[in-house]
Amino acid sequence: MAELIAEGMIPLYRQVADRIQSDIINASDDPSRPIPSELMLQQRYGVSRITVRKAVVELVKEGSLTKIQGKGTFISRNKTVYPFDHGQGFTYSCQLRGVVPSTRVLNLDYVIPTEEDRLFFQLKEKEKVLMIQRLRLGDDKPCILETLFFPMTFSSLCEESLDVSLYSLLKEKYHIQPVKGHKWIEICKVTPFEAQMMQAQPGDAMLLMHEMVTDQFKKPLHTSKMIFSPSFRYYM
């Protein structure tokens, strides 16, 4: 198991929160019992009590833990999926929280990008990008309808199996690591196709997130459009 890194990119309290999620919450078969005390967690992970307290507060905010006055802190009975944790992606976030991730590839195509995407990728007019559309599921339930756009330097992705974690594939085979993402969120009304994929009704309101991501070399990596199912809770 990886050691906690005090000076790492991920805050120490967040690392402890992830470790509590993995070691205690996901491993528990009896949610009726409270989790270990702050002192026990402090000793277990070798961090300060303030760090432990902040980690627990974070997990309560996210919905993984529930505090009951006078009784302690308990594991929440309802699972919560967090689609994007620290740039690790949907698959990592699901696995961390005991949710089984799966992916259905819906469409692959070369398309003309929007003007905003064209400027982000620094393309000439009418240059195309690779579009990958996938349905991300947690425990076999539709979670995210995801449409990603990559520059043509990544056209070889069409030859890959894309029902896996793209971020893991990019890291292991292409040595590319997503580093920074610029996001903005709005509410959208889903189309008939989107509704069918998300097991909803046409015109239903859902959360829509746009993202522009660069890699470790500060080069444009991809843009994305993601529609989130209201059947899950999200923490960003």
Distance CA 222, CA 75 (A): 36
> Residue 83: pLDDT band by 50, 70, 90 thresholds?
very low
Fold of 12-75: Arc Repressor Mutant, subunit A (1.10.10)
Provide the terminal-to-terminal Cα distance of the chain, rounded to the nearest Å: 25
Indicate if the pLDDT at residue 129 is higher than 60: yes
> Residue 119: pLDDT band by 50, 70, 90 thresholds?
very high
Domain spans in the chain, listed from the N-terminal domain onward:
12-75, 90-228
pTM given for the model: 0.68
Q: What's the pLDDT tens digit per position in 177-187?
A: 988 788 999 99
What is the reported pLDDT for 188?
95
- Domain 90-228: homologous superfamily in CATH: Chorismate lyase-like (3.40.1410.10)
What is the reported pLDDT for 157?
96
Please give the DSSP secondary-structure letter assigned to residue 216: T
Q: What's the pLDDT tens digit per position in 29-81?
A: 666 778 999 999 999 999 999 999 999 998 888 778 888 888 889 887 655 54
